[in-house]
Amino acid sequence: MERKMYKSAFVYLILSLCAGVFFREYTKLSGFTGLTSLSFMHLHYFVLGFMMFLLLGILSPRFSKEPAKQIILLHIGLNITEAGFLLRGLDDIHSLPLPSAAISGIAGTGHIIIAVSLVWIMVKLTGRK
């Protein structure tokens, strides 16, 4: 399990770096100078992806059983959140005809899934049933 966590951390590190480069270069090429949600993608992938999975890899010997469902849920929640940030960022730059509430709903759903998975992981880590 420890190895899976480190592999996930590495993938999220790469995604984080790519998100940062995409934000910088895409806004520059688009001539956009304002604030955009694309800037949050780098931070979320770095902290909730790379650092979280690095930490889970370090803590994995403390788990009594592999928290596979919780980890899958964390992956899903993080990537749904990132999809919301991507849509919102592209909407910020290009003023796309996307419903604002729907984009917020996507990001909000992703954040809720992340919260549930993190609480569930902590319950697993502390050994409570």
Tell me the chain's radius of gyration from C-alpha atoms.
16
Among 120, 37, 119, smallest CA distance to 82 is for 37
pLDDT tens, position by position, 11-25: 999 999 999 999 999
Q: What is the largest CA-CA distance in the chain?
A: 53
C-alpha span between 65 and 127 (Å, rounded): 9
- pLDDT at position 125, please? 78
pLDDT tens-digit map of 101-115:
888 899 999 999 999
* C-alpha–C-alpha distance, residues 100 and 74, integer Å: 25
What is d(CA 46, CA 15) in angstroms, rounded to the nearest whole number?
8
- Taking a C-beta distance cutoff of 8 angstroms, is the pair 55, 4 a contact? no
- For the ranges 14-18, 67-71, 90-94, 107-111, the lowest mean pLDDT is seen at 67-71
